[in-house]
């Protein structure tokens, strides 16, 4: 026998109140816990069953990017209602409600029509939470990049100042030492000591040159450059070493790359530094993959190795001058900062992706010249 009209109205009103309360509480959980995904989605799923017609036998589950959040005792059941979670046009998961037992009777279905709309609204709210979290992660990533760039700029200014201050006294030391070497009356031991002074001075001058290059204080001589040729010439320096160390070389260099307006010598320095790092990361041998390609108006060069890899902490300090993981006297810690300075001075970017025990990939992106490269063009 059908229930009186007044009872049906009161019941329908009660269901609407439950639904509105559910959406309100979900919005509060989303706003309060944004940035903590597990807390957000577990909080949302707990709010779903009380809003359904038979909360005592209802349970809910949210599946998002393969991860599940569900109420206690959730089990698959025939009586199921579900709605997809779609973010940016991509299906990311599903939110579902099930009844543990069948409460239907001839006059009604176990799920109300309005509950379908409610579930769709919940799925939409979950999608909004996901979008907000992605935006927050992207903001944090960009903020970290900005802070890193600002730190490198500050270090570059400091390095340039120190280098200029050291250049003058160092030139004097080197000049006087070279003059003393010409003295015929100087004893042999004295000449050996002066030679050590000259060698040390030249080494210090090279460090200063690299500091200035990192700080972008040295001029570049740009012309049309075929990056593939630069790659081949740089790699040719190491071919015998690759064989000796058991390193397999794979080069993927498409023949029709556009020209770069670049300093060929500096780009060679970039490639040599990256290859040296890759070789040093594979003491037991491995695979070195060097590739170039065109992407969004940039020539991209990747140098990938299967070496020891790096932790995130090491990656965050790679371009800081004098930072090195090598043994004492095995490196100055200026190789990658110089690479960063050269790439930046060419209007490009350099990125690193590494996993400990699996290897490292450096990706250099350089803007192309306005004119395409042709074989009859003068090249560097």
CA separation for the pair 121, 64 (Å, rounded) = 16
Q: What are the domain boundaries of the chain?
A: 5-138, 143-214, 223-367
pLDDT in tens, 261-285: 888 878 888 888 898 888 888 988 8
Give me the pLDDT at residue 23, please.
76
The CATH code of domain 223-367 reads: 3.30.565.10
CA separation for the pair 68, 63 (Å, rounded) = 4
* pLDDT of 106 strictly over 60: no
* pLDDT of 374 strictly over 50: no
Mean pLDDT score, 280-302: 91
Give me the pLDDT at residue 268, please.
82
Mean pLDDT score, 312-334: 63
Q: Does domain 5-138 have CATH number 1.10.10.60?
A: no
Rounded to 5 degrees, φ, ψ at 305 are -125, 165
- Angle among Cα 200, 205, 207 to the nearest 5 degrees reads 95
Contact 71, 49 (CB under 8 A): yes
* pLDDT of 330 strictly over 60: no
Give me the pLDDT at residue 329, please.
46
Contact 269, 340 (CB under 8 A): no
Least confident of 120-134, 243-257, 318-332: 318-332
pLDDT in tens, 15-66: 667 777 777 778 777 776 555 778 888 888 888 888 888 888 889 999 998 8
In percent, the amount of the chain with pLDDT more than 90 equals: 13
Side-chain half-sphere CA neighbours of 340 within 13 A = 21
pLDDT in tens, 176-222: 787 777 777 778 888 788 888 888 877 777 776 666 665 555 555 67
Q: Which fold has domain 143-214?
A: Helix Hairpins (1.10.287)
pLDDT top residue among 16 and 231: 231
pLDDT in tens, 125-158: 888 888 888 887 777 777 666 565 555 555 555 5
Contact 332, 325 (CB under 8 A): no
In percent, the amount of the chain with pLDDT more than 70 equals: 74
Residue 321 tokens read as 């001058």
Looking only at Cα atoms, what is the longest distance across the chain?
Answer: 126
Q: By three-state DSSP, how is residue 48 classified?
A: coil
Contact 257, 292 (CB under 8 A): yes
Q: Which segments of 215-360 does DSSP mark as H helices, in order?
A: 227-236, 239-245, 264-280, 312-316, 335-345
* pLDDT of 289 strictly over 80: yes
CA separation for the pair 76, 59 (Å, rounded) = 10
64 CB neighbour count, 10 Å cutoff: 19
Residue 116 tokens read as 């379908």
Contact 310, 354 (CB under 8 A): yes
Alpha carbon separation from 221 to 23, 195, 267, 339, 345 (Å, rounded): 63, 33, 11, 16, 11
Give me the pLDDT at residue 171, please.
78
pLDDT top residue among 351 and 210: 351
Give me the pLDDT at residue 221, please.
67
pLDDT classification of 248: cutoffs 50, 70, 90 = very high
């Amino acid at each position: 026998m059908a229930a009186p009209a007044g009872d049906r109205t009161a019941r329908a009103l009660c269901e609407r109140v439950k639904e509105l309360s559910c959406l309100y509480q979900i919005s509060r959980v989303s706003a309060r816990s944004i940035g903590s995904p597990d807390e957000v989605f577990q909080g949302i799923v707990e709010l779903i069953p009380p809003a359904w017609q038979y909360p005592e036998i209802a349970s809910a589950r949210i599946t998002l990017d393969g991860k599940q959040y569900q109420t206690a005792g959730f089990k698959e059941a025939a009586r199921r209602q579900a709605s997809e979670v779609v973010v940016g046009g991509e299906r990311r998961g599903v939110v579902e409600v099930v009844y543990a037992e069948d409460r239907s009777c001839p006059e009604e279905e176990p799920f109300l029509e309005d509950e379908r709309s409610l579930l769709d609204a919940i799925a939409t709210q979950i999608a909004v939470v996901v979008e907000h979290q992605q935006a927050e992660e992207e903001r944090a990533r960009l903020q970290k990049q900005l802070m890193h760039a600002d730190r490198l700029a500050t270090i570059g200014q400091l390095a340039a100042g120190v280098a200029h201050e050291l250049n003058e006294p160092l030139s004097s030391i080197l000049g006087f030492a070279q003059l003393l070497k010409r003295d015929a009356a100087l004893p042999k031991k004295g000449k050996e000591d002066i030679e050590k002074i000259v060698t040390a001075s030249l080494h210090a001058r090279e460090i200063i040159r690299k500091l200035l290059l990192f700080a972008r204080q040295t001029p570049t001589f740009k012309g049309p450059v075929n990056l593939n040729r630069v790659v081949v010439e740089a790699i040719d320096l190491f071919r015998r070493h690759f064989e000796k160390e058991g390193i397999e070389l794979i080069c993927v260099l498409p023949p029709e790359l556009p020209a770069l307006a670049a300093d060929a010598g500096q780009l060679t320095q970039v490639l040599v530094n990256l290859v040296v790092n890759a070789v040093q990361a594979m003491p037991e041998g491995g695979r070195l993959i060097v590739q170039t390609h065109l992407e969004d108006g940039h020539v991209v060069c990747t140098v990938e190795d299967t070496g020891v890899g790096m932790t995130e902490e090491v990656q965050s300090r790679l371009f800081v001058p004098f930072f090195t993981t090598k043994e004492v006297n095995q490196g100055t810690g200026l190789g990658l900062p110089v690479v960063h300075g050269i790439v930046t001075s060419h209007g490009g970017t350099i990125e690193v992706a590494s996993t400990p025990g699996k290897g490292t990939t450096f990706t250099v992106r350089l803007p192309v010249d306005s004119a395409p490269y042709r074989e009859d063009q003068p090249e560097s």
